[in-house]
Amino acid sequence: MNLPPLLWVRVLEAAVRHGSFVGAARELCVCPGAVSRTIKELEAFLGAKLFVRRARGVVPTETARTYAQAIAPALEQIAQASADVRRSRAAAGASKLARSDGSSTAAAR
């Protein structure tokens, strides 16, 4: 598979949703310049212009809007799967802790 890095995809989705690199930067806790550089890398990878840069901000192209709409469900699936794993690991950890301190065996008696 020839996939772009997940970070690039996340940055694009946030930039399109916010309609700005500044908004995406705030959400992702990076500087706007980092968002701009990441978008340039993704544009080079895809061979497509994703934003029109203007003096007072950026405007996502139709390609960027279409791409962001297509990848948003995949990002949501990744987020959900990650949350599921964290929950199952936390539950397993709580179960191990209960066994190691004897609370579950004492309750079973």
User: Which residue carries 């949501």 as its tokens?
Assistant: 76
Q: In the chain, pLDDT over 70 holds for what percent of residues? A: 85
Which of 4-13, 75-84, 99-108 is least confident? Answer: 99-108
Distance CA 98, CA 13 (A): 42
- Nearest to 53, CA basis, from 36, 41, 38: 36
pLDDT at 100: 65
Q: What letter would DSSP give residue 55? A: T
pLDDT at 1: 85
pLDDT at 92: 80
Q: Which tokens is 39 given?
A: 């978008």
For residue 102, with 0-12 CB atoms within 10 Å meaning exposed, 13-18 middle and 19 or more buried, which class applies? exposed
pTM attached to this predicted model: 0.79
H or E element, residue 58: strand 57-60
Domains of the chain: 6-97 (1.10.10.10)
The pLDDT-based confidence of 109 (bands split at 50, 70, 90) is very low
Distance CA 30, CA 22 (A): 9
